[in-house]
Amino acid sequence: MDKKLKYFIIAITGVTCFSLLLIVNFNLIYIPIAPPKESVSGISLIVDYNNGTIRVHKNFTLDNGKTTAFDALDKWCDVKYTDFSWGIFVEEIDGISGGINGGWIYMVNNITPNVGSPNYPLDDKDEVEWLIREFL
């Protein structure tokens, strides 16, 4: 009887862990995102090329529904990216690569969002910054 109880407890623990894994995974994937606004103004864009050059564009407007963090970058810079099923990966900005062990990331108002840049809707007076970070 003790062996059966032991296996039952192990099975219940396994099923519980697997269920929690599924619940957490689906909650991380499903992120409610507000639709982009038709127009935003007072936007600032900063691009740090990690070579001493920093490009700044201030107080501009995005319109026609193209009001995401990626749209702000695409308005002022030549962007090379790959479109994966899970989102886009920015490879180069103005010919500058993210590097072998790094990549381009973005921040809005000094916070790194948990969604890709084409899915992050901007608000009026947001500051978007793109920079290269090393991946470990």
- Confidence grade of residue 30 (pLDDT, cut at 50, 70, 90): very low
pLDDT of residue 14: 80
pLDDT score, position 22: 60
Q: CB–CB of 70/126 below 8 Å?
A: no
pLDDT in tens, 48-88: 999 999 999 999 999 999 999 999 999 999 999 999 877 88
pLDDT digits (tens, 9 = 90+) for 105-120: 999 999 999 888 999 9
Residues 120-130: pLDDT tens digits? 999 999 999 99
Are 88 and 70 within 8 A, CB to CB?
Answer: yes
What is the rounded distance in angstroms from the CA atom of residue 9 to the CA atom of residue 24? 22
Fold of the domain built from segment(s) 40-134: Ferric Hydroxamate Uptake Protein; Chain A, domain 1 (2.170.130)
